[in-house]
Amino acid sequence: MYRSILNEQETEHAIKLIKDTFQINLATALHLRRVTAPLFVKSGLGLNDNLSGTEHPVSFVIKSTGECAEIVHSLAKWKRVKLGEMQAQPGYGLYTDMNAIRAEETLDELHSLYVDQWDWCCVIRPEERTMKTLQRFVKLIYQAIKNTEYIVSEHYAEIHPILPDDITLFSSEELLQRYPNLSSKDRENKICQEYGAVFITSIGGKLSNGERHDLRAPDYDDWRLNGDILVWYEPLGCVVELSSMGIRVNADSLHSQLMIEGHLDWEKRMYQQMVLNNQLPSTIGGGIGQSRLCMILLHKLHIGEIQVSIWPDEMIEDCQNRGINLLR
């Protein structure tokens, strides 16, 4: 039976240690300033993250104004607007604690109704919208993760580092050519099991076989210049996505991707109009899962050992039978 290395009280202390340590490491590496973020935004402005483009946000009517608001999925677009308001210069950015509800999520050891992540965004020059820039940020973020893992191992003698020293980069097309007979998810598992930590680039557009590696909304990441940080997690025998990130769309890539998806009507929305009229800075940004990072660094088997959420009765019973203590 599974036995957690840390008990519940020790786990709570360790969660704080990880969160405090990592955000300092991240802010220092990327030159980020912390800001306060919204839990909800007005509907219809195009500010909410559409994720894969199919999810529906939790929404409600504001009694005082009669307007409709929706819980954020993430802050991909809001951050860029905020940086424009701050008049942040290239090489500097922001980060924030993002809390969200994703009501359509399929619940398992890694997926919860409640999402908590560090949302970050940094201003870059238009000429820096390149794969080289994306790779540089990926390596800085991964090093911040590794530094945090080391601090955890220094505080808790029974917890040893398990992540590889370096992260390896592959494009989604390279994975297809390498494993042409596997599904995209199986390709991720195969490459992560071999390398331990990988960054898969260029997610959203169609590959040479006419399929997509994964879905991405067309109006925040440039599909040519984005990707996911994935690690192999042996205790669960699967890939864990720690971060999704990318260089944000400019006017050309936004129009092109909206046309591909048949969503040119989105161009009438406030945020999309700001991008098309070059009213926002060029940026790179993403989200890093707080509970997932804590889960990996503390060698837990279920994200519910890190955060309080709602789980199906059969999952709660199964966890109890396996010695997994879900926080409540």
Residues carrying an active site annotation: 49, 102, 117, 228, 241, 244
Nearest to 199 by CA among 243, 161, 158, 233: 243
CA distance 10 to 17: 11
CA distance 180 to 149: 35
Question: Which contiguous run of DSSP H or E holds residue 231?
Answer: strand 221-233
In whole angstroms, how far apart are CA 259 and each of 91, 212, 247, 264?
31, 16, 19, 6
* φ, ψ (nearest 5 deg) of residue 22: -65, -40
**Residue spans of alpha helices (H) in 72-216:** 76-86, 131-155, 172-178, 184-195
Residue where the block lists tokens 């003698």: 157
CA distance 53 to 3: 39
At 239, list the tokens. Answer: 């890939």
Specify the DSSP class assigned to residue 181: T
CA distance 76 to 37: 11
SS3 81: helix
